Amino acid sequence: MTGKEIADNLRGTKLKWGRRQLASRNGYHCVLGIKGIEHGVTLEQLRKLDGDVRYSYENWDSTLGQITAMNDSCDTKEELIAKFEENPDEEYAVELFIEKAKAVQV
């Protein structure tokens, strides 16, 4: 997905945005968690990816670490949207994250 596509998606999602976790117990999700949920990755799987070092998703592609760092450096969803809009044509491996997360899903 491009920066513009991610920004547009964040702007339109009804899911609650948050930091530091793909899926928190209180219903907040980082941008990768939001995309995962929207594409069929379960909350249980996202929580497993958060806590299990065997599934170090940030190592699946360097852009996933960039997304996580950007997400966690922002205080609001609007601030994160603005960061993605700064580089609208940059490609991020969101689809790879979804594919691999679903592949290890039980």
Q: What is the pLDDT of residues 26-38, one digit of tens each?
A: 899 999 999 999 9
The band of 106, judged by pLDDT with boundaries at 50, 70 and 90, is low
Q: Residue ranges of the alpha helices (H) in the chain?
A: 3-12, 31-38, 43-51, 62-73, 77-86, 94-103
Residue 50 is predicted with a pLDDT of 82
Model confidence pTM above 0.85: yes
78 burial type by CB count under 10 A (0-12 exposed, 13-18 middle, 19+ buried): exposed
Q: What is the pLDDT of residues 40-89, one digit of tens each?
A: 999 988 988 887 766 678 778 889 989 999 999 999 999 999 999 999 99
- How far lies 54's CA from each of 2, 47, 48, in Å? 28, 13, 10
